[in-house]
Amino acid sequence: MEKDITIYDIARELDLSPTTISRALNDHPAVNKKTKQRISEAAAQMGYRSNLFASNLRRQRTNTIGLIVPRLDSPFHSSVIAGMEKVANEAGYNLIISQSLETLQKEIANANTMFNSRVDGLLVSLSFETETLEHFENFVSKGIPVIFYDRVAEHKECTSIVIDNLQAAYKATSHLIEQGCTNIVHITGNLKRNVYADRLKGFKYALIDHNLPFSEENVIISKMTEEAGTLAAQQILEMDPLPDGIFVSNDTCAVSCLKALKKANISIPRDIAVIGFNNDAISRVVEPNLTTINYPGQEMGEVALRVLLLQLNGSRDNVPSNTINLRSELIIRESSLKSKSNAKKKAVHL
């Protein structure tokens, strides 16, 4: 637990000034090559490590990016984070991560921590409860870029990164209709969140465009968890007549719903066709395999971070555009194929 070596120690050792040490270690051009060499050797030999805090304090930036996510233990968010970490790491940024656990209160607390930690930029996917973006105003007014991804909200100064949820839902619903479904249930999450509101819209528009009636009773709002899927299935089993198709806003919930329906001797897709959302691993395992929307989590994470880096390094108004749409696609599997003749898998690019 000996004392840390500083650039002063190296300076003294080599009979140079701390300035030169600092410059050499930062590869400043105006330092003699031989001197640089000597310095970096001495630094290594003396066990020097730079003090990021002192550096941060001096330079007023942290090389740290904050991330607030609803839950860490979700396949989608895991892959997003994996993508973010990869890009951040390559660019020499640290990622500090916290979860709101879907509550506004924790989201606010986390935002404040991030603010005090003086992150250079902030990435956010909103909680279920969030209604306003007040708790991010601190950042905005200080010129700290905030980027929303997936669960986003409109803000004049902030970029959002999403997929076209409306269109994805429209395609999924249309696919069900093409398979002969006329009475479709939609299970989705809190409508405060764009992802669920947009999917509901896509669902509704698809029905309307195909001259099918839209009824509020066919929309089930749930927490989108495994348990919620089971509950939704019970609710559906009590419907009379039974629906002939279900479009669920995530795979976790879709799969547990599908399982519960099967247990009740409903044949999938013959009696009821099912479509999920996300293309989690689970969707390729359930029987029948689940038709779903492929959702590019890792890519979304990478893009979010790249855009943030652009905003950090480039000119302040280098924002590519206010909203970035990533491509998603409908992956058709057995769970929605009523007409077995179509049974070859095909991917419809949105």
Partner DNA sequence: TTGTACGCGTTATCAT
Partner DNA sequence: ATGATAACGCGTACAA
Among 22, 79, 188, 278, binds a copy of itself (CB under 8 A): 79
Q: Respond yes or no on whether the N-terminal peptide bond of residue 241 is cis (omega within 30° of 0).
A: yes
Task: Decide whether 49 or 156 has the Cβ nearer to a copy of itself.
Answer: 49
Q: Is 85 in the site for a copy of itself (CB under 8 A)?
A: yes
Cα–Cα dist 62/68, whole Å: 17
Task: Choose which of 4, 216, 217, 240 interacts with DNA (CB under 7 A).
Answer: 4
Q: Of 122-130, 137-145, 154-162, 235-243, which part binds a copy of itself (CB under 8 A)?
A: 137-145
| Binding of residue 51 to DNA (CB under 7 A) | yes
> Binder to DNA among 37, 45, 50, 322 (CB under 7 A)?
50
Could you count the other beta carbons within 10 Å of the beta carbon of residue 129?
A: 16
Contact positions with a copy of itself (CB under 8 A) in 166-225: none
Q: Is 22 in the site for a copy of itself (CB under 8 A)?
A: no
CB of 91: closest distance to DNA in angstroms? 17
> Do residues 256 and 226 lie in contact, with contact meaning Cβ atoms separated by under 8 Å?
yes
Q: Is 292 in the site for a copy of itself (CB under 8 A)?
A: no
Residue 22 interface partner, choices DNA, a copy of itself, none, CB cut-off 5-8 Å depending on type = DNA
The residue among 46 and 239 lying less far from DNA, judged by its C-beta, is: 46
Q: Which of 258, 256, 278, 255 is nearest to 267 (CA)?
A: 258
Q: Which residues of 153-165 are buried (b: 16+ CB within 10 A; e: fewer)?
A: beeeebbbbbbbb
Task: Find which of a copy of itself, DNA, none residue 73 binds, CB within 5 to 8 Å per kind.
Answer: a copy of itself
Could you write out the three-class secondary structure of 189-231? CCCCCHHHHHHHHHHHHHHHHCCCCCCHHHEEECCCCHHHHHH
Q: Give the nearest distance from C-beta 118 to DNA in angstroms.
A: 10
Determine the Cα–Cα distance for residues 104 and 204; give it in Å rounded to an integer.
29
Kindly tell me the number of DSSP H helices and DSSP E strands found in the chain: 12, 13
Which phi and psi (to 5°) does residue 214 adopt? -105, 130
Pick the binder of a copy of itself from 26, 41, 46, 54 (CB under 8 A): 54
Fill in the per-residue mask, 101 to 120: x = in contact with a copy of itself (CB under 8 A), - = not in contact: -----x---x--x-xxxx--
19 binds DNA (CB under 7 A): yes
Cα angle for residues 123, 125, 128 (degrees, 5° grid): 150
Residues that bind DNA (CB under 7 A): 3-4, 6-8, 15-20, 22-23, 25-26, 29-32, 35, 48, 50-51, 54-55, 57-60
